[in-house]
Amino acid sequence: FRDCVYLCLLNSGTSFVAGFAIFSALGFMAYEQNTDISKVAESGPGLAFIAYPRAVAMMPFPQLWAILFFVMIILLGLDSEFVGLEAIVTAISDTNPSFFHVGHRRKLLLLAISVFSFFVGLVMITEGGLYIFQIFDYYACSGMTLLLFASLQSFCIGWIYGADRFYENIEDMIGYKPTSLIKYCLKYVTPVICMVSQLKFTHSNDTVC
């Protein structure tokens, strides 16, 4: 439980520091181009592969910083893959542990999912792959989809499975029950915030369209 709190604080702190690094570079580019910072670059591939490398090129020893930047991008991608693949493999293997937890079957399942993901990724490097990537990024990996999954996860754990039963599982794992604040956040606060954010996100997209 303590490690989870530290991890959340570390994640928020890293995002805060990254914001200084990104927006300082974008602000400098906006000042140089005499334009608004919102017009320098949008979030997504344009920011990572166009705007920020252009800012890195203006720094001393640009080759060194460019290498470090793209190595960081690769490591971030690999780290995200670890989390995503582990969640899928664990969900599938736990449905039939007597089968997948024997020998190397779990590793073979991981290999099969990785190969499938690799071939799906090949589609995104074709001539029209950028459009497929944008569709996949918008409808499957961000925005309304993440809010929907967060709402459903909170609802399923807090109300269908039961927050009290979930707390008993946590007590079995760590030896004590966490503070009740997390239970109320899981049952009430998180679903309400996610649904309100989802409605606001959908309304803003309809207004733009």
pLDDT in tens, 169-189: 888 888 888 888 888 888 888
Query: Residues annotated in the binding site for Na(+), as ranges?
Result: 11, 76, 79-80
Domain boundary pick from 59, 83, 108: 59
72 found inside a domain: no
User: In terms of DSSP H, where are the helices of the chain?
Assistant: 2-33, 45-46, 52-56, 62-95, 97-100, 105-123, 129-140, 144-155, 163-174, 180-184, 190-208
What would the pLDDT profile of 76-100 be if each residue is shown by its tens digit? 888 888 888 888 898 898 888 888 8
DSSP 39: G
- Confidence (pLDDT) at 208: 47
Query: Residues annotated in the binding site, as ranges?
Result: 11, 76, 79-80
Residue type, 58: M
Nearest 5°: phi and psi at 2? -65, -40
Direct distance between the N- and C-terminal alpha carbons of the chain, in angstroms, rounded to an integer? 43
Do residues 128 and 134 touch, judged by C-beta distance below 8 A? no
35 found inside a domain: yes
25 found inside a domain: yes
202 found inside a domain: yes
Number of domains in the chain: 2
Domain boundary pick from 29, 59, 89: 59
Note if the pTM is more than 0.85.
no
10 found inside a domain: yes
The residue ranges of the chain whose pLDDT is under 50 are 208-209
Do residues 167 and 177 touch, judged by C-beta distance below 8 A? yes
The rounded radius of gyration (Å) of the Cα atoms in the chain is 21
Domain boundary pick from 43, 59, 75: 59
Report residue 145 as tokens: 């989809």
Segments forming the whole domain that contains residue 195: 142-208
Interior/surface letters 192-206, b for 16+ CB within 10 angstroms, e for the rest: eebbebbeeeeeeee
83 found inside a domain: no
Report residue 151 as tokens: 């709402």
165 found inside a domain: yes
76 found inside a domain: no
